[in-house]
Structure 1
Amino acid sequence: MSRTPQEIFQSCVYAGAMTRNADAFAELFTADGVFEAPLMPAGAAFPRRLVGREEIRRTMAAYYERQGKGGRTPNLEKSGYTLHTTADPDVFIAEIDTVFDGDGDRDGGGAGREGGADATVSLVQIFRIRDGKIARLRDYFAPELMD
């Protein structure tokens, strides 16, 4: 059964940003899938490039663990996205504006501002799909957001 770009994107957001479930996130990828954050500098806490479902699973589990239970969670009611299909039916682009509540920075993560205004983080993700799974996900965001 083929999954729509919307279903794939929503599963990705839920497994990653919402629940920080490395197993569920990794299962969205093909066995040889690639997850990239090309703007991340070498040696950053957030991985720049992961190849293969098992490396994605292992590295993201470690990253989510370092974030701890108090990690930032987006406010879905305030956040939004637009999906763009392309001439290639296996490629779609997500244009995302994620809003973190102003009092959501209790862990020092930087996107929310304790006692302050909401913080909006804009990013773009490019998905390449094969057989209903993510073969390549390129995630473009400002690296300082992951400090």
Structure 2
Amino acid sequence: MSASPQEIFQKCVYAGALTRNADAFAELFTEDGVLEAPLVPVDAAFPRRTEGRQEIRRTMAAYYERQSSDGGVPNIEKSRYVLHITDDPEVFIAEIDTVFDGDGDGDGDGADETVSLVQIYRVRDGKIAHLRDYFTPGMVS
């Protein structure tokens, strides 16, 4: 039985944003999977486009390693998301409002910060074949 959009999304959030586990994150993708962040500048720390599970593993491990230990872990209790199921059974969209507690953004003001983003998933056999992650490029500078 193939994983549901809810299961895929939750595993993706846990492996990526919450635990920053490049191995677990990469395993969510098909062998030829693509991770794409079209709004990110080419020279940003976060990879703009990465193709193939092994390359996703390598580039995300390098990205997670560069992030500071206080790089802001999302507050799951305050964060919200909505999954939009499409007519295409292989495609779903996640609309996300991620809340970082009190100075998790590093700006020194002590206030919570909400970051909104959209992710478009294309899945094949329960794995992510293509993930487009649309977020503010400043989040990964």
CA distance in 2 between counterparts of 1:60 and 1:3 reads 23
Gaps of 5+ in 1: none
Q: What is the CA RMSD across the aligned residues, in angstroms?
A: 1.0
Cα displacement (A) at 1:71: 2.1
Alignment counterpart, residue 128 of structure 2, candidates 111, 129, 134: 134
Q: Could you give the per-residue CA deviations for residues 67-98 of structure 1, whole angstroms, max 9, x where no partner exists?
A: 03322100001000000000100000000000
Q: Which residue of 1 aligns with 2:12?
A: 12
Counterpart code for 2:48: R
**TM-score when normalising by structure 2:** 0.96
The structural deviation recorded for 1:115 is 4.2
Determine if the alignment matches structure 1 residue 55 to structure 2 residue 55: yes
Which segments of 5 or more consecutive residues in structure 2 lack a partner in the other structure?
none
Deviates more, 1:47-56 or 1:66-75: 66-75
Q: Distance in 2 between matches of 1:135 and 1:38?
A: 16
> What does the per-residue CA deviation read over 1:19-47, in whole Å, with 9 as the maximum and x for residues that have no partner?
00000000000000000000011111110
Q: Which amino acid aligns with 2:133?
A: D
Match of 2:64 in 1: 64
**Paired residue for 1:102?**
102
- The list of structure 1 runs, each at least 4 consecutive aligned residues, that deviate by more than 3 angstroms after superposition, is none
TM-score, with normalisation over the residues of structure 1?
0.92
